[in-house]
Amino acid sequence: MSDIYRAIADETRRTILDELAERDDQTLFEICSRLATKHGSSSSRQAISQHLEVLEAAGLVHSERRGRYKVHTLDTAPLQEITRRWPPAS
């Protein structure tokens, strides 16, 4: 569970999750392009790739090879587990 908190603690990783929530199944190139155009990010492809690795280790992103491309998909199940752990107070 601590991997989830570490993963979402970083603003760039939260932005990547937002972008995947808006449009799922993106390649690294697509994610980098969207971060640069929509958010003014100047992070390198290598840096974004490392962020994706952290998100994948936390179970928030899954990657799959499709031909010569690696496609990244959002998985919100770990976040839903957090909300079940601490339900809102009545």
Domain boundaries, the chain: 2-85
Residue range 80-90: average pLDDT? 79
CATH fold of 2-85 = Arc Repressor Mutant, subunit A (1.10.10)
Q: What is the pLDDT of residues 55-67, one digit of tens each?
A: 999 999 999 999 9
Which segments of 1-90 are extended strands (E)?
Answer: 26-27, 61-66, 69-74
Distance CA 78, CA 57 (A): 11
What torsion do the CA atoms of 1, 12, 32, 24 make, to the nearest 10 degrees?
50
The pLDDT confidence band at residue 86, using thresholds 50, 70 and 90, is: confident
Specify the higher pLDDT residue, 89 or 31.
31
Would you say 28 and 44 are in contact if contact means Cβ atoms under 8 Å apart? no
